């Protein structure tokens, strides 16, 4: 699965980048390149909660 050249916001943080996710092995693997102009670490919690 790949998310290429996406952009968006979560809370007061913005995010632009590309992610590749491989769930085919024993363990899932994610790699990518993310860029933030504005980043608030507390905003990351909402992304992790949404994935869990």
Radius of gyration of the chain (CA): 12
pLDDT per residue as tens digits for the range 5-38 = 999 988 888 989 999 999 999 999 999 999 999 9
Provide the pLDDT confidence category of residue 44 given band limits of 50, 70 and 90: confident
Half-sphere exposure of 12 (CA within 13 A, CB side): 5
Let me know: does 11 contact 40? Beta carbons within 8 Å: yes
pTM of the model: 0.57
Domain extents in the chain: 2-51
Name the token pair of 23. 């769930």
Q: How far apart are CA 3 and CA 7, in angstroms?
A: 10
């Amino acid at each position: 699965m790949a998310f290429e050249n996406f952009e968006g916001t979560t809370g007061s943080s913005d995010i632009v980048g590309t992610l590749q996710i491989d769930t085919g092995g024993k363990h899932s693997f994610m790699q990518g390149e993310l860029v933030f102009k504005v980043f608030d670490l507390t905003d990351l919690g909402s992304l992790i909660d949404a994935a869990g």
